[in-house]
Structure 1
């Protein structure tokens, strides 16, 4: 039997004590021994802070993103080895795809978001400057900086690969090292993934460590700059959250717990409508994917009382076609639970529900389970089990007891108000779904129940062709939920990165804030040079480099010509009488004419380092521009983002953000905005971006 080693302080180590065994979920044979007793767990925290943390903190967001992308590519190239180990946990190929390739895709997604949106710096200015004085010489802004701590991630058994990678992505982007503590039952897949990452040499030493087994007294050595995340049962999570050390040091703790997620069939849906078939398909998929071992799985099936018989018949018919057994067989659609202990726990929860208001419609009995494959009789298999609770308002167990396997309970409601009440009885869920074709019903339901859910899916025939489904957390969407679901947040795009950083409000003069944030702001010093800034390469441009243009007087012909060119004949521009009665009192120039005229003033037309206009942000029209007004523009280099070369053939470039102030003859701002340009670099990449 193999020993499943931990990776701590730069080496692979195994504990000295009573080892725990991991068994093959399909055959029942013992595979690995796990033990962390006697390992230097406290020392691993210091190693992470002093070694990995310092290395990550010196890397810019762009460098961290490139590192993560390289790790994702490496894992993708070795995914088949991970699939083989995933099979040991009872997963089918499609189950493993969600876990393995879904986790790798999350790394890619965060690397891409960072590459597009985060600075090539170690400090992240979170918002626009906030003026605090009349003369604009005292201002503030919020910035995010890396915390010199370590993130301890305690993960559940159901997604040993994705569960780790979806936390590592924002942790690493934030510049924080991580220690992973996977659930023992499936730790072999997490360990194999970590080994691939460590052996690749792509990650700084100390940025990733692994504990296979218990965490001993590690909580006693955490400090206020550290963070803890937990995914698993609500009971265990609440116990950890109340640890005296976490309370004493105000240590950040994020919890994502299993919840009794619901799927509701709208009153409007009949068996003849496409939405009915979508409902049946979604419920059955969520019951059987990963053998129901998903924190987002549908546990409560809420349907109109008048549709119970039809829904029951359709569900039973579809579930009867689910073949259970060896996941390597082509015909098998559902594998095993991760362990026989887990199977016994599910059986106990089902029996509890049967004694508290539920009755079995299918499954619920191990002795009647037929399995496909050879040598699988000792596996941790459990049948797809559909229960029925005729009175879900009287029997509260169905809203508080979760059988973490292929188990769900059908329950009726009379009107939509009752469906809302049943959805809320879950006391906080990760996700809820509503299947309906009625927009008014959907609006009423979502507005009443969104408070109890972290994510909500409204499914109809139009969304169905592209819907990612009830149970699929996405990198760009928040994953978490209130109450029973843990009250935490994960993913949600770059929001997740902020959980591992320190937000600080910085106050000072514009010049000071610009220097600290490495991002010029209005009111700070400008640098004027006879050479037009559009004639300079990316490296040559300095923050604060500014151009004050020539002037242009707006004429009636300008307004008429722009109206004819654009087709915009709005009365405030073209109707002298209508404009006189408007808030402007007379005809005014088109806002987009002002922007176009400004470009004509500041653009250098010759061939040069500027490759293209990349976009415009935060456009605001401040004052009207009238016939006879004279415009002038101040263009200032606000921010630079160096972009990596994807291939040697790509032209090296970066993004330059320019602050644009369009002024009138009274030096009043009439329009304020930023433009982004792609600007060529003089040299290609010689290594990671700095």
Structure 2
């Protein structure tokens, strides 16, 4: 199937018609197993007949630029027994009033050139198709690309923005890729497939759950804030992967933030932002006074919940979903809640010295008013007892 509608600047219609026709003249039709053949047959004789029918309908509102007749050169194969169809280029000079070029799809090597005079007109012409699997925008103007994508995205399942920077690596118009959604709205069928991990979810049932945080934690095996917390005499970082329970929690000691903490952290990190160092300027800031660095807060929090001696926790794996909710000022006192949120078994590779799993911890830093100041998750690599 060819690109159904090619929307080009009105002043370039003749040049594009000539250029495309010249390229089409070089396409040899025949048995694709033969040397030199560039285009093979359609799926069968029924499709050939249907494509001719659709082409004849399209001719009512278009003019033939190239091809479009049954008298076409065939490099190899049988004209009577095969399912060959000529590459055909049409043009529709009044795309805003003609209807058939937008409604009829030949499902064969048939493409229609349509002129536009400005961006709004191009968008309007695109929308007349009432839904497409994919559209390609060829432009080197970022603002033009933004305007067209925002104006036409709702009518496409996928859009390719093509320019010099990506032309050589482009997979081409309409190529299905596993990480991209494939499918389109309206006349394109309203379906959807692929899209990376989303593709798996098409085959899964989705059920909404309601309940208390404790019950949801038990059902989902993921800690939900507000659920009952499990505390033991053993620091969570001293426990192997199998021994950790979802909801197992450490409440740390308290720490009062001093001016020296802010100055030392700023000098160590090189972050001398005025809200941390300039008392006069800080009075006019969002906070009304000097505040601690956000990264000092999470660094101090780590110092409060980490167990320093060797144990099953092997490495810090990452930090996610960090939010600084309230400022921490000089003289504020912070405390940390660390809860085992989720456990993920990790397959042992041949070069792994120890079997491990990934543990996600829910972290909440609060001040002396019991108000959250920082919320985030940390990931740790934790040793398993058994392979």
Map 1:99-248 → 2, pairs under 5 A: none
Match of 2:296 in 1: 593
Q: 1:623 to 1:440 in 2, by over 3 A?
A: closer
The residue number in structure 1 matching 2:132 is 429
2:351 maps to 649
In the alignment, is the contact (CA less than 8 A) between 1:656 and 1:676 conserved in 2?
Answer: yes
Identify the residue that residue 513 of structure 1 maps to in structure 2: 216
TM-score (norm 1): 0.53
2:64 matched residue in structure 1: 360
Equivalent residue for 2:148? Answer: 445
- Tell me which residue corresponds to 2:5: 300
The answer to whether 1:334 aligns with 2:39 is yes
Counterpart secondary structure, 2:40? coil
What is the CA deviation profile of residues 382-440 of structure 1, one whole-angstrom value per residue up to 9, with x for unaligned ones? 12111122222333111111111111111222222221221111011122222112223
- Which of 545, 552, 557 aligns to 2:248? It is 545
**Aligned 8 A contact 2:135 2:174 in 1:** no
2:205 and 2:189 mapped to 1: Cα distance? Answer: 22
**Matches of 1:542 and 1:376 in 2, distance apart?**
72
Equivalent residue of 2:6, what SS? Answer: strand
2:321 maps to what in 1?
Answer: 618
**Quick check: 1:410 aligned with 2:113?**
yes
Q: Which residue of 2 aligns with 1:680?
A: 383
Whole-angstrom distance in 1 between the partners of 2:45 and 2:305: 71
Matched, 1:628 2:310: no
Mapped partners of 2:106, 2:366: distance in 1? 66
Q: Secondary structure of 1:625's match?
A: coil
Aligned-partner Cα distance in 2 for 1:567–1:409? 61
Q: What CA distance in whole angstroms lies between the structure 2 residues aligned with 1:316 and 1:679?
A: 64
- 1:376 CA displacement: 8.1
* Compared CA separation, residues 313 and 652, structure 1 to 2 (3 A): farther
3-state SS of 1:627 partner: coil
Q: Secondary structure at the match of 1:421?
A: helix
Which residue is equivalent to 1:19?
Answer: none
Q: What is the TM-score with the length of structure 2 in the denominator?
A: 0.92
Q: CA deviation at 1:658?
A: 0.2
What is the aligned length? Answer: 386
Q: Contact (CA 8 Å) 1:325, 1:376: kept in 2 or not?
A: no
Q: In structure 2, do the counterparts of structure 1 residues 483 and 577 end up closer, same or farther at CA, with 3 Å as the change threshold? A: same
Secondary structure at the counterpart of residue 254 of structure 2: strand
The answer for the alignment partner of 1:419 in structure 2 is 122
Aligned-partner Cα distance in 2 for 1:477–1:300: 22
SS, match of residue 632 in structure 1: strand
Q: What whole-Å deviation, never above 9, does each CA across 1:349-388 have from its counterpart, x for those lacking one?
A: 112222x12222222223323224x678732121211112
**Higher RCO, 1 or 2 (CA under 8 Å, sep at least 6)?**
1
Residue 346 of structure 1, aligned match among 51, 72, 90: 51
For 1:642 and 1:366, locate their aligned partners in 2 and report how far apart those are by CA, in whole Å: 63
Q: What secondary structure is seen at the aligned counterpart in 2 of 1:441?
A: helix
| 1:320 to 1:683, Cα distance in 2 relative to 1, 3 A | farther
Q: Which of 564, 579, 595 is the aligned partner of 2:267?
A: 564
The whole-number CA distance in structure 2 between the counterparts of 1:375 and 1:391 is 38
Q: Name the residue aligned to 2:75.
A: 371
Determine the C-alpha separation between the residues in 2 that align with 1:376 and 1:412: 34
Other structure's SS at 2:4 match: strand
> Is contact 1:432-1:455 (8 Å) kept?
yes
Residue 503 of structure 1: aligned partner: 206
Tell me the equivalent position of 1:530. 233
Q: Does structure 1 conserve the Cα–Cα contact (< 8 Å) formed by 2:95 and 2:114?
A: yes
Who is 1:639 aligned against?
342
Match of 1:14 in 2: none
For the 8 Å contact 2:326–2:373, the answer to whether it is kept is yes
**CA deviation string 1:432-463 (max 9, x = no partner):** 22211222322222222222222222222123
Long gaps (5+) in structure 2: none
Q: Distance in 1 between matches of 2:18 and 2:290?
A: 69
The Cα offsets for residues 149-178 of structure 1, whole Å up to 9 and x where unpaired, read as xxxxxxxxxxxxxxxxxxxxxxxxxxxxxx
Task: Work out the CA distance in 2 between the residues paired with 1:603 and 1:331.
Answer: 68
Please give the alpha-carbon distance, in whole angstroms, between the structure 2 residues aligned to 1:497 and 1:566: 44
- 2-side partners of 1:591 and 1:467: how far apart? 42
| Residue of structure 2 equivalent to 1:478 | 181
Which structure would you say has the larger Rg?
Answer: 2
Q: Please, which moves more after superposition, 422-431 or 496-505?
A: 496-505
Q: Report which of the two has the higher share of helix.
A: 1
1:493 to 192, 196, 210: 196
Structure 2 distance, partners of 1:318, 1:565, is 64
Correspondence for 1:457: 160
**Residues 588 and 627, structure 1, Cα contact 8 Å, conserved in 2:** yes
5+ residue gaps, structure 1: 1-291, 685-690
CA contact (8 A) 2:42 2:48 kept: yes
Check the 8 A contact 2:277/2:290 in 1, yes or no: yes
How far the C-alpha of 1:589 sits from its partner, in A, is 0.4
5 Å-filtered alignment, 1:34-73, equals: none
Q: Does the CA contact (< 8 Å) of 2:37 and 2:75 recur in 1?
A: no
